[in-house]
Structure 1
Amino acid sequence: MTDPVTPRRSGLRGFGHAGPSPWTDLDRPPLDAEALRRDLVLPGGFWTSLDVVTETGSTNSDLAARAGAGAPQGAVLVAEAQNAGRGRLERQWSAPPRSGLFLSVLLRPDEVPVERYGWLPILVGVAAAATLSRVAEVEVGLKWPNDLQVGIDGAERKLGGILTELSGGAVVAGLGINVSLRANELPVPTAASLALAGAAVTDRSTLLRGLLREFAGLYTEWTAAAGDPHASGLLAAYADRCTTLGRPVRVHLPGDRELLGEAVAIDGDGRLVVRTPDGTRRPVGAGDVVHVRPEPR
């Protein structure tokens, strides 16, 4: 899910085990799993289970194991701390305990052709950006493909990231969002948190409820359209929030290659279309994008 916390003992632990009290930092109270389940795991609803653990290596890995054991769609696993969280391109993600939202959800989009599964991380990003913009009252954008971004002091900084993985016939979608990190806790200077961005709401329970409800609605529309990004409205919703479109970019491609140009579109496969200086339009399916400042005139 994105990028660094002080390593802690690995393994899945619940609140009943001995260890540091979850109330040692009163600004970061623990999540109330029972209250979340009452609000979100409802008869006939999309979410089928919700568990909160004190610490684990990776919620994606744990939920993938449950998927292999036959867990149904709609399972949610939230960790108060992760010590082996992963982001795109195998980057590490960690943060102080209870300083953010670190979760994975189990999906079984059987109605959708496998070739459209690449839209799932984009769907998670749209749900997260929409929820945070509405609930936290902070404008959140999406750097292609799905890095959550906010502006602080005129600079674009990373708020969170998304990692989706296939596990048998299921998809596990992981999300990490920095909520209350202080400046001296940021893993890198280009990171951010909702608190540092001046969010009106940083209560993790409120944010999590909003996020899961938003995602369930978008996912239901997407699967009802067999994953079609046009018919479901997902492509348009993503383009509205994509901070990369219309920008000069440098794309670091696999094999130490580089592509320079202007990001002009998102195609039907979720790829970034880059127009090179000679006018060629090149679709990019994987790569690390750098937003380049335009040359002064």
Structure 2
Amino acid sequence: MTPHNASGPSRWSDLDRPPLNATALRRGLLHEGGLWTSVDVVQRTGSTNSDLVARAGAAEEGAVLVAEEQTAGRGRLDRRWTAPPRSGLFFSVLLRPAEVPLERWGWLPLLTGVAVATGLSRAAGVDTALKWPNDLLVTVGGEERKAGGILAERAGEGGVVVGVGLNVTLRADELPVPQAGSLELADAVSTDRDTLLRSVLRSLETWYDRWRAAGGDPVTSTLQETYAAGCATLGRQVRAELPGDRALVGEAVAIDGDGRLVVATAEGTREAVGAGDIVHLRPA
């Protein structure tokens, strides 16, 4: 029998999806000298990114905001991102990389992708590939599926909020589109969201500290090399849908020093793409 109360379903009404344990998360993540300074878990919000951007002025670097349910989550190009309560990880973090020149801040979404993939590999046993610039791909039935995404937004002077949305226990009949995926559908060895979140945030702290210590240099920090190694876009034929209704078709051949995707066209030209929608056409 499904438990309920007068105010609606109990927070335990889906026993396959227990709530996050905020106390245990704080105990595991907050320590003297560490990056993370606060961890707040809310039951429901429109967008953790919007909330954290709004409070960035009063928040310390390393603030983490997690939602059990997001009703107005946004991906790139203002696409909506919604999922059933407690079926995924929806969180944002506040970073202030003062030691890093502004022109290198564009690496933050890519750094987050590397950190998430590394953390999930350890905690979920899932091979997560990165689709440039900020999609997280898993393999379901031999097919690449999008299971998550990353969105970075400026937060006042000197701050960046990076948000991550990740489908964890979504079942096939709950997917927003047939091409989507989840860790459960990718046969993850664990879908315990507390464990996954701790692993991802520890990985993010490690990568962020390394990048910051290198002054944001993507070579010295090994970020450029590591991102390229895990990037499913490289070596593929792609169509880049660029601002101004322009499209560029060719092979994705490299990630340059600014984190841009370098596309080689059939005409023999190379163009670095800094923003736009990328469609994987077929293996090169």
Q: Same fold (TM over 0.5)?
A: yes
Does 2:174 correspond to 1:162? no
| Structure 2 alignment gaps of length 5 or more | 1-6
Aligned counterpart in structure 1 of residue 132 of structure 2, from 144, 155, 162: 144
CA-CA distance at 1:19 after TM superposition: 4.4
Quick one: which amino acid aligns to residue 177 of structure 1?
Answer: L
CA contact (8 A) 2:40 2:65 kept: yes
Match of 2:102 in 1: 114
Measure, in 2, the Cα distance between the counterparts of 1:87 and 1:29: 25
> Of the candidates 163, 185, 190, which is equivalent to residue 174 of structure 2?
185
Q: TM-score, normalised by structure 1?
A: 0.91
2:244 to 230, 249, 255: 255
Counterpart-to-counterpart distance in 1, 2:139 and 2:260: 24
* CA shift in 2, pair 1:64/1:248, >3 Å: same
Aligned equivalents of 2:137, 2:283: Cα separation in 1: 19
**4+ residue segments displaced more than 4 Å:** none
Question: Deviations along 1:120-169, whole A, 9 cap, x unmatched?
Answer: 00011000011112221111100011200011122211010000000112
**8 A contact 2:122–2:199 mirrored in 1:** no
Aligned residue number for residue 270 of structure 2? 281
Q: Distance in 2 between matches of 1:293 and 1:54?
A: 40
Partner of 1:269: 258
- Give the alignment's TM-score, normalised by structure 2: 0.96
Identical pairs, percent: 67
Shift of 1:44: 1.9
> What do the CA deviations read for 1:81-115 (whole angstroms, capped 9, x no partner)?
01111011110111000000000000011111111
The gaps in structure 1 that reach 5 residues or longer are 1-17
* Counterparts of residues 97-136 of structure 1 (less than 5 Å): 97-136=85-124
Q: CA RMSD in A?
A: 1.3
- Do the aligned partners of 2:170 and 2:182 also contact (CA within 8 Å) in 1? yes
Partner of 1:224: 213
Task: Letter of the 2:260 partner, please give it.
Answer: R
Question: Which one of 267, 270, 280 corresponds to residue 291 of structure 1?
Answer: 280
Q: CA deviation at 1:42?
A: 1.2
Q: What secondary structure is seen at the aligned counterpart in 2 of 1:293?
A: strand
Do 2:235 and 2:283's aligned partners in 1 also have CA atoms closer than 8 Å?
no
Checking the alignment, whether the CA contact within 8 Å between 2:131 and 2:233 is kept in structure 1 is yes
Distance (Å, rounded) in 2 between the aligned partners of 1:229 and 1:284: 17
Match of 2:199 in 1: 210
Corresponding residue number in structure 2 for 1:94:
82
SS of the counterpart of 1:251?
strand
Separation (CA, whole Å) in 1 of partners of 2:37 and 2:142: 41
How many residues were matched structurally? Answer: 278
Deviation for aligned residue 1:174: 0.2
Is it true that 1:84 corresponds to 2:82 in the alignment? no
Secondary structure, counterpart of 1:37 in structure 2:
helix
